[in-house]
Amino acid sequence: MGRISDLMTVQTITRDGVPVVTVAGEVDMSTAGPFLAEMTTQLSLAPAGLVVDLRAVSFFGSAGVGALLAARDCPVRVVVVTARPIVLRMLEITNLDRLFDVRRTLPEALRALRGQPT
């Protein structure tokens, strides 16, 4: 998908056969729609798992929380990647860290999807 606005980019690559939706910038009311659309597109392909990479996110608002919750309704396992305190804090206060497997690195996320120790 590429650049959405000056505030955010979202793109999907495949790593080890797993789609990785990578988001950079701000996820807020004006950008969450394209973020959700990209996750929905990937989930509709029924992959074995999906990684949502939020390591380059500088702001993660309630609209981003809503987008992740919508992805949770799919039977595909979703692993979130972030080490950014601003994103981790939002995941913690909304309990999304209990609904999703949250990893700090992409290799850890891919190993978790394969059931390997991290």
Q: What CATH number belongs to 2-113?
A: 3.30.750.24
* 106 has a pLDDT exceeding 70: yes
- Work out the percent of the chain whose per-residue pLDDT is above 90: 83
Question: What's the 3-state SS for 26-94?
Answer: EECCCCHHHHHHHHHHHHHCCCCEEEEEEEEEEEECHHHHHHHHHHHCCCCEEEEECCCHHHHHHHHHC
For the segment 50-75, the average pLDDT, to the nearest whole number, is 94
pLDDT in tens, 11-29: 999 999 999 999 999 999 9
Output 72 or 116, whichever has higher pLDDT: 72
